[in-house]
Amino acid sequence: MAVSNRLKNQHLLWRAGFGPMAENAADLDKVSPKELWNVLVKTSAKKPEKIEVAQNLVDGLYKGVQDVANMQKKELTNDQKKQIRDQSRDDLKNLNIRWLEEMINNEGQLREKMSLFWHGHFACRVINSYFQQELLQTIRENALGNFKDLLREVSKSPSMLSFLNNQQNRKKKPNENFAREVMELFTMGRGNYTETDVKEAARAFTGWGFNLKGEFEFRKFQHDTDSKTVLGKTGNFDGDDVLDILLEQKQTAKYITKKIYKYFVNDTADDKKVDWLSNRFYESGYDIKKLMEDIFTADWFYEEKNIGTKIKSPVELLAGIRRLLPMEMENDQAQILFQRTLGQILFYPPNVAGWPGGKTWIDSSSLMLRLRVPQILTANDVLDIQAKTDDDVQGGMMEAAAKKLKAAVKGGTATTDWTLVNKIFEAVPREKLLQKITDTVLQTKSHVPDTLLEKYLNKESRENFVKSAVVNLMCTPEYQLC
**List of E strands, 219-281:** 228-230, 233-235
| pLDDT score of 30 | 93
| pLDDT score of 407 | 61
| pLDDT score of 387 | 44
What are the boundaries of each domain within the chain?
A: 5-43+250-306, 314-416, 418-480
Contact 61, 130 (CB under 8 A): yes
Return the amino acid letter for 81: K
State how far the Cα of 175 lies from the Cα of 319, in Å rounded to an integer: 39
| pLDDT score of 403 | 55
State how far the Cα of 95 lies from the Cα of 90, in Å rounded to an integer: 9
Question: What is the mean pLDDT for each group of 10 consecutive residues in the chain (482 residues)?
Answer: 92 98 94 98 97 71 42 66 82 95 97 98 94 97 98 98 96 97 98 98 97 91 98 98 98 98 98 98 98 98 98 98 92 87 96 96 89 83 43 46 56 79 96 96 94 92 95 96 98
| pLDDT score of 68 | 39
| pLDDT score of 252 | 98
Number of C-beta neighbours around residue 171 at 10 A: 15
Residues in the chain, overall count: 482
Q: Pairing relation of β-strands 228-230 and 233-235?
A: antiparallel
